[in-house]
Amino acid sequence: MIKKIGVTSGEIITLLEEIKGPLTVKEIEVYLGEEKDIILMSIGCLIREGLLEADLTNGTAFYRLKNKGKK
């Protein structure tokens, strides 16, 4: 499962680089065809590593790549 989370994390980064905009968990699920639990664990890892950030808009979380210049 650890390997699957790592692979999915990479896929999320690639997806967000290609889309160039924030996505919801549901949108990421549709694009990747992966289970929600794996996506959520991957997002958690990416946030902890400082690669992703989340914004809450109207009760919905949107995830995007963190700007490299921001700390």
Instruction: Give the domain 2-65 fold.
Output: Arc Repressor Mutant, subunit A (1.10.10)
Listed as own residue / partner, the contacts of 62-69 with beta carbons closer than 8 Å and 24 or more positions apart are: 62/22, 62/23, 62/24, 63/12, 63/16, 63/22, 63/23, 63/24, 63/25, 63/28, 64/16, 64/21, 64/22, 64/23, 65/13, 65/16, 65/17
pLDDT of 2: 87
Residues 26-66: pLDDT tens digits?
999 999 999 999 999 999 999 999 999 999 999 999 999 99
For the chain, the structural domain boundaries read 2-65
pLDDT of 69: 52
